């Protein structure tokens, strides 16, 4: 695929001269590319690896998954694709090494963005003037994010906090597939679970440690908070 989506250089998170229809059209195309890439990456992940992640999240017993909703698989996939134990390679990096996408193609651009995705806590500040949300990155306090996700746009209120992994595709950022609404209680539980030395790191470094996302997902799944996230595709006539 050639770069029909024409990913532009990063623009201001608030000021982007695009209509809602243009934003949704670009988002729809980019989301479809990312889904196809995720499917390809998951072919490199064994069922045993998925079960290990599920056990860490508390949603597997032996070799049996215990799910309240199939959407809970998103948390397993997130960790299996984007994280790895020390000394091991990530599935997304193994996929990138074996892929043969043309330089400058949408697949190559989106894959590169996905490999550089970052886990964070986002404070929802306001609706974007075109579509999506404007959020502050609480783990990297100097950054503002234009988060483009129609499900989150319709389900989150200003002032709420969201834990998610996101990647920048210019001019906006997209979630990597899993998201959890957070409150003070869940964050206190997360910090209690993590090793003290890990919690003493700068917030940006803490966010990059796989155990941080894992703890948030595990506690959110156990508490039922994960069910409050709305996953929604963009209607063709949006």
The answer to whether residue 220 is domain-embedded is yes
For the chain, what is the mean pLDDT? 88
Three-state secondary structure call for residue 179: strand
The answer, yes or no, to whether residue 165 has pLDDT greater than 50, is yes
The answer, yes or no, to whether residue 35 has pLDDT greater than 90, is yes
The answer to whether residue 8 is domain-embedded is no
The answer to whether residue 74 is domain-embedded is yes
The answer to whether residue 157 is domain-embedded is yes
Q: What is the per-residue pLDDT for 237?
A: 46
State what percent of residues in the chain have pLDDT above 90: 73
Count structural domains, the chain: 1
Q: What is the per-residue pLDDT for 10?
A: 42
Tell me the average pLDDT across 105-120: 96
The answer to whether residue 169 is domain-embedded is yes
Nearest to 153 by CA among 140, 137, 134: 134
The answer, yes or no, to whether residue 231 has pLDDT greater than 60, is no
Q: What is the per-residue pLDDT for 25?
A: 93
Q: List own/partner pairs for 93-98 with CB under 8 A and 24 or more apart.
A: 94/44, 95/37, 95/40, 95/41, 95/44
**Helix H or strand E segment including 48:** helix 47-56
Taking only the tens place, the pLDDT of each residue in 44-88 is: 999 999 999 999 999 999 899 998 888 899 999 999 999 998 889
The answer to whether residue 233 is domain-embedded is no
Contacts of residue 52, Cβ cutoff 8 Å, sequence gap at least 6: none
Taking only the tens place, the pLDDT of each residue in 203-219 is: 999 999 999 999 999 99
Burial zone of 51 (CB within 10 Å; 0-12 exposed, 13-18 middle, 19+ buried): middle
Higher local confidence (pLDDT), 5 or 7: 5
Query: Which domain does 70 fall in, by range?
Result: 20-228
Q: Find where tokens 């003037």 sit.
A: 129
The answer to whether residue 9 is domain-embedded is no
Local confidence band at 13 (pLDDT 50, 70, 90 cut-offs) = very low
Q: What is the per-residue pLDDT for 186?
A: 86
Lowest mean pLDDT among 3-12, 44-53, 135-144, 209-218: 3-12
The answer to whether residue 6 is domain-embedded is no
Taking only the tens place, the pLDDT of each residue in 88-109 is: 999 999 999 999 999 999 999 9
Tell me the average pLDDT across 114-131: 95
The answer, yes or no, to whether residue 1 has pLDDT greater than 50, is no
Q: Find where tokens 């201001």 sit.
A: 12
Joined together, the tokens standing for residue 74 give 């998103």
Q: Are 193 and 219 in contact (CB under 8 A)?
A: yes
Q: What is the per-residue pLDDT for 202?
A: 93
Q: Are 228 and 160 in contact (CB under 8 A)?
A: no
Q: What is the pTM of this model?
A: 0.86
Three-state secondary structure call for residue 27: helix
């Amino acid at each position: 695929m050639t770069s029909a989506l024409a990913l532009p250089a990063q623009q201001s998170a608030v000021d982007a001269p695009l209509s809602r229809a243009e934003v949704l059209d670009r988002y729809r195309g980019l989301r479809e590319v990312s889904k196809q890439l995720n499917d390809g990456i998951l072919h490199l992940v064994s069922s045993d690896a998925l079960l290990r992640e599920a056990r860490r999240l508390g949603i597997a017993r032996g070799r049996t998954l215990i799910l309240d909703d199939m959407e809970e698989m998103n948390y397993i996939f997130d960790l299996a694709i984007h994280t790895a134990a020390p000394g091991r390679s990530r599935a997304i990096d193994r996929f990138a090494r074996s892929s043969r996408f043309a330089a400058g193609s949408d697949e190559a651009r989106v894959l590169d963005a996905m490999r550089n995705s970052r886990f964070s806590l986002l404070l929802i500040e306001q609706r974007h003037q075109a579509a999506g949300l404007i959020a502050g990155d609480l783990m990297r306090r100097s950054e503002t994010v234009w988060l483009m996700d129609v499900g989150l746009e319709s389900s989150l209120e200003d002032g709420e906090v969201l834990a998610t992994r996101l990647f920048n595709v210019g001019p906006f950022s997209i979630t990597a597939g899993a998201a959890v609404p957070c409150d003070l209680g869940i964050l206190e539980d997360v910090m209690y679970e993590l090793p003290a030395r890990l919690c003493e790191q700068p917030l940006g470094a803490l966010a990059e440690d796989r155990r941080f996302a894992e703890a948030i997902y595990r506690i959110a799944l156990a508490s039922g908070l994960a069910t409050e996230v709305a996953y929604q595709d963009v209607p063709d006539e949006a």
